[in-house]
Amino acid sequence: MSKTVSLTIKKNLAEITMDDGKANVLSHSMFEQLEKAFDAAENEKKIVLLRGRDGLFSGGFDLKEISKGPKEAIALTTRGSQFARRIIAFPTPVIGLSTGHCIAMGAFLMLACDYRIGLEGEFKIGLNETLIGMTMHEFGIELARYRIPLDYFNRSVINAELYSPKAAVKAGFYDSIIKPESIEESVSSITQHFESLNMSAFAGTKVKSRKNLFSLLDNCIDIDKNMTVV
């Protein structure tokens, strides 16, 4: 298994970077490595910075694995949903740094993060499932409904509109955008804010405020497991 995820601990921050040298596709191998990195961050109670390589956060699921058949497609989408569910419930803050294009399951991972940063540039952000012939899974629909403003929901989920970084803020995919040259300064500032929080109160409030969401998403994962992929 080639190494596509790296983990760097910097004081209170665990920086987790995806880099397969190509489209940062989300395969079983990528998820396995991401899980191990998140395990380490959770064990050490670190704030997480999840990022991609220069110019790309993630292009979404590994379509080679998806195209093997319905069983394989369901297995991979389920794993992706379960990992996004973990991010949503993670006991310490998860900062998503979208280093470029952020598409499909990559965008769902960004939606799951507590704070989402995009970079200025000629990048595309959004959910292209219906554009490439995939019916959106229940988990994706409900996660999008939770994070995307109502006036952008149909445009994003059904119409598969892709956005520039600036428009992605209005559409609910990002909380802010920054210049590439200011990544270190901006991440440091945002991390300092999260460091000022009481982590026990943060985790408790996160669980309380998202209790109904967790129940809904868990039910969606169960439904998706039993659906035929079209």
> Which DSSP string do the residues of 89-112 spell out, in sequence order?
H-SS-EEEEE-EEEETHHHHHHHH
pLDDT per residue as tens digits for the range 78-107? 999 999 999 999 999 999 999 999 999 999
Q: Per-residue pLDDT for 77 more than 80?
A: yes
DSSP 130-177: GGTT-PPPHHHHHHHHHHS-HHHHHHHHTS--EE-HHHHHHTTS-SEE
Bridge partners of residue 119, in order along the sequence? 178
Tokens standing for 228?
């035929």
Do residues 20 and 4 lie in contact, with contact meaning Cβ atoms separated by under 8 Å?
A: yes
- Please enumerate in sequence order all residues whose Cβ is within 8 A of that of 48, keeping only pairs 6 or more positions apart, or say none: 13, 14, 16, 38, 41, 90, 92, 93, 94, 95
The pLDDT value given to residue 229: 45
Q: Do the bridges between strand 47-51 and strand 94-98 make them parallel or antiparallel, or are there none, so unpaired?
A: parallel
Q: How far apart are CA 129 and CA 105, in angstroms?
A: 9
5-182+191-195 domain in CATH 3.90.226.10? yes
Q: Per-residue pLDDT for 2 more than 90?
A: no
Do residues 54 and 91 lie in contact, with contact meaning Cβ atoms separated by under 8 Å?
A: no
pLDDT per residue as tens digits for the range 161-196? 999 999 999 999 999 999 999 999 999 999 999 999
Q: How far apart are CA 158 and CA 18, in angstroms?
A: 28
Do residues 94 and 114 lie in contact, with contact meaning Cβ atoms separated by under 8 Å?
A: yes
Residue 226: pLDDT band with limits 50, 70, 90 = confident
The pTM of the whole model exceeds 0.85:
yes
Nearest to 197 by CA among 47, 73, 64, 68: 47
**For the chain, domain boundaries:** 5-182+191-195
